[in-house]
Structure 1
Amino acid sequence: MAIIIVAAGSGTRLGATEPKAFVDVAGRTILERALRSALSIAEPAQIVVVAPAERLEQANTIVARAAGAASSSLTVVSGGDTRQQSVAAGLAVLGDGIEIVLVHDSARSLTPPTLIEAVIAGVRSSGNGVIPGLPVADTIKQVDWMGSVERTVDRAPLVAVQTPQGFPRAALVDAYKTASDDFTDDAALVAAAGLAVTVIDGDPLAFKITTPWDLARAESLVAASPAAPSWRTGVGIDVHSFDADAPLWLGGLHWPGEPGLAGHSDGDALAHAVCDSLLSAAGLGDIGATFGTDDPRFENAHGDVFLTATVELVRAAGFEIGNVSVQLVGNRPKVAPRRAEMEAHLSEVLGAPVSVSATTTDGLGFTGRGEGISAVATALVYKP
């Protein structure tokens, strides 16, 4: 499943000095808010952002901020002169195995994740196009070119259409290949190609930010939202002495040629400090109480085992991980050559950004004498 987020519009009617997707809404750009909504659905999805060619670097920065460690799985491509050309650019980079595609306007940045999931479920169950819509509440008049009323239009069968609009991938790709006209939305394009399209209940929060009034409304809604996450921090410290007869495992990685660390498990002080910080932040105690040395399951276990189990406990307590920062204190090993590898590995295991740093103690203390190492970690967790 994939979601193409179209963010290549100019936003002329908004009256902003920059493209609409990069306009700020209460501290976050319109694009970032749209991304956070898409990233909050339960089902994994390939997400493609279509941005103005001159704004690709800024779009990648926003993607990294919104997605964190998962940003490597998102794609940013440049859009075209029209919306259809932009969507076609997004379709061109979809991965193999994608069967359902949603096309979403970044300007509908407050769209609830539940609406996105409803569209996915609708496409999957029907095999047709599915679009969200709301009943038209206003009385509709048809006028002539002079502005004179000709008739009152029956509003009962009318709906105001929103996004995301979902389709079977094959049908959407074929429709784009054969399109000869420029349509205002993807549903019209696939309908013209012969695919049935069904309307499901939309959501008032999925309104499109088009005018300054819309922007003010979005800012008011964000400011009044009771859904702000509850953040908590935790600190973890672990110390292990060197054991020249053991292999060194640190940060979940094997370090050939380096003396290992003594301990009931593999002695991965860095991983253990991270676990301690997460357990502390979630109010779950510490690693010693949670994974005792008398538990045979953890004898000689690698740090990844403790990290994975800690993530499960933190999430079971209702928390998600914001990020973790950990610092190694010791003379060896030299962390710099493998820092990026270690950060990538730990971030993948935790499903959240992890930063790693290292320092020495200028020859002072047990670390300075080369007797062992210590690690200090801080973690940020939140309840959505």
Structure 2
Amino acid sequence: MSTIVFVTVVRHHASDAELALAPVNGEALLTHTVRGLLALPDLDLVVVAAPERCADLFSAALGGLGNSGFDKRCRIVPGQSLRHVFDTVATEIAEDPVILVHDALRAFTPADTVRAVADAVRAGSSFVVPVLPMADTVKVTEAAKVITGTEDRAHLRTAQTPLGFTRETFLSYADKPSLDGAHTIAGHPDAMRVTTSFELKLAEAIAVAGEEEETL
């Protein structure tokens, strides 16, 4: 089964696309994301969904990845809609692929996590999400912002990416995104979504640590 990754900015705020261009250790966050994916030889195609207003900047950020096989294994497709991006590259996708959807802001998701999601789809799960247990105490408040109770966190999880799909489940998700019904696997702390100045500092530390490991 071929494996296709769609890299998108999972928008929570209007500025999230620009966050993908935030510098981390001298390169855009997006550059780290795509380089990490291209380092996995079992990924057949990496498709970057670039918001129209950022398409040229996304292309510039990824232009230096030629030595990683960028020209052959990576495409940049302007457009935020997953369905549009999928339709644009549909002729390059085999009939029965494993499809992954990865948030561009989760730049340091370990390779083992990406592989585990893909393997779970190959093993028969039609929809897979990596998750972490909820560590914080979760309180319930009323309209007046007064605490009225405590959620039992035993079954609460924070969702990460990549999300893993069969073709049919992916097309359903692209039309109506929801994580309901997904099978879960263990996520990883390094797969954090980098959006704040503190998280950028953590990302910088992860990137520097990675470089130091490569030089040992």
- State the 1:224 CA deviation: 3.6
- Equivalent in the alignment of 2:93: 96
- State the 1:66 CA deviation: 2.3
Q: 2:119 corresponds to which letter in structure 1?
A: A
- State the 1:113 CA deviation: 1.1
- The answer to whether the 8 A contact 1:11-1:210 is kept is no
- State the 1:213 CA deviation: 1.6
- Equivalent in the alignment of 1:142: 140
Higher Rg of the two aligned structures: 1
Q: 1:6 corresponds to which letter in structure 2?
A: T
Q: 2:134 corresponds to which letter in structure 1?
A: V
- Partner-residue secondary structure (3-state), 2:93: coil
Cα distance in 1 for residues equivalent to 2:108 and 2:160? 12
Q: Whose RCO is larger (CA < 8 A, sep 6+)? A: 2
- Equivalent in the alignment of 1:33: 32
Q: Does 1:70 align with 2:69?
A: yes
**Displaced runs of 4 or more, over 4 A:** 8-14
- The count of residues paired between Structure 1 and Structure 2 equals 210
Aligned-residue Cα RMSD (Å) equals 2.4
- The answer to whether the 8 A contact 2:141-2:148 is kept is yes
Structure 1 unaligned residues grouped into runs of 5+? 180-185, 231-382
- Equivalent in the alignment of 2:20: 21
Q: 1:214 corresponds to which letter in structure 2?
A: E
Cα distance in 1 for residues equivalent to 2:146 and 2:197? 29
Cα distance in 1 for residues equivalent to 2:171 and 2:122? 17
Could you report, residue by residue, the CA deviation over 1:109-137 in whole angstroms, capped at 9, with x for unpaired residues? 01111110110001110232111000001
- The answer to whether the 8 A contact 2:98-2:121 is kept is yes
What is the percentage of aligned positions where both structures have the same residue? 25
Question: Per residue, is there more helix in 1 or in 2?
Answer: 2
Q: TM-score, normalised by structure 1?
A: 0.51
Cα distance in 2 for residues equivalent to 1:203 and 1:26? 21
Cα distance in 2 for residues equivalent to 1:13 and 1:7? 10
Cα distance in 1 for residues equivalent to 2:58 and 2:211? 28
Cα distance in 1 for residues equivalent to 2:36 and 2:214? 14
Q: Does 1:3 align with 2:35?
A: no
TM alignment of 1:157-172, pairs within 5 A: 157-172=155-170
- State the 1:26 CA deviation: 1.1
Cα distance in 2 for residues equivalent to 1:126 and 1:76? 30
Could you report, residue by residue, the CA deviation over 1:142-162 in whole angstroms, capped at 9, with x for unpaired residues? 111111111110000011100
Question: Per residue, is there more strand in 1 or in 2?
Answer: 1
Cα distance in 1 for residues equivalent to 2:149 and 2:68? 56
- Equivalent in the alignment of 1:212: 197
Residues 20 and 226 of structure 1: CA distance in aligned 2, closer, same or farther (over 3 Å): closer
Cα distance in 2 for residues equivalent to 1:69 and 1:156? 42
- Partner-residue secondary structure (3-state), 2:63: helix
